[in-house]
Amino acid sequence: TVSILTSQEKPSDGKPAPHREWKQTIVPVSKGSEGFDVSPDGKWLWTAAAGDGSIAIIDLDNNKVSSTIDAKILGANRLVFTPDGKRVLVSSLRAGDLFVFDVASHKEVKRIHIGSGAAGIIVDPDGSRAFVGCSPDNYVAVVDLKKMEMIGQINVGGTPDGLAWTVIP
């Protein structure tokens, strides 16, 4: 299941309101759903299930599954939208691949082998590259999203997984 929390407060001045009251909605999806992300327009939540390799697409206006993709990504671990919202990237710990899906068609457009196991994913703000933690290999794969290929690796040691951007002033 996926648990969706929404604030019941609506700001009147356009500024974010403090979250004091929440509504929780449980949406049944496949077992082992771990990787998930909300589309840049805030309308869809995509979640990938490690067990059966499916991707559930949840309509956030209705908090219901609108469709399910039989993606066959066994060991699906993380899922992230590109900044433009046109692609979804899914990593597989089992296959060591990065799967690229077209959001509009819900079809796989590319499978990129990046190592022994693919974990955390982050896309740079301009959408040109993805970085994927390859935990068993102790590196972060660098993927060119225009060429749709791995172009390098950053040896980091320590089984990399979760990744984040930071700006240093």
pLDDT per residue as tens digits for the range 106-126: 999 999 999 999 999 999 999
* Helix or strand holding residue 53 (H, E): none
Tell me if 121 sits within 8 A of 132, measured CB to CB.
Answer: yes
**Using 50, 70 and 90 to split pLDDT, how confident is the model at 19?**
low
Model pTM above 0.85: yes
- Residues 105-144: b if buried by 16+ CB within 10 A, e if exposed: eeebebebebbebbbbbbbeeebeebbbbbbebbbbbbbe
> How high is the pLDDT of residue 8?
56
Tell me if 76 sits within 8 A of 53, measured CB to CB.
Answer: yes
Average pLDDT score over the chain: 91
C-alpha to C-alpha distance for 48 and 92, rounded to whole angstroms: 10
- Give the residue-averaged pLDDT of 36-48: 96
- Give the residue-averaged pLDDT of 88-98: 95
> How high is the pLDDT of residue 20?
64
- The token duo for 2 is 């996926």
pLDDT of 161 strictly over 90: no
**Using 50, 70 and 90 to split pLDDT, how confident is the model at 61?**
very high
- Give the residue-averaged pLDDT of 54-82: 96
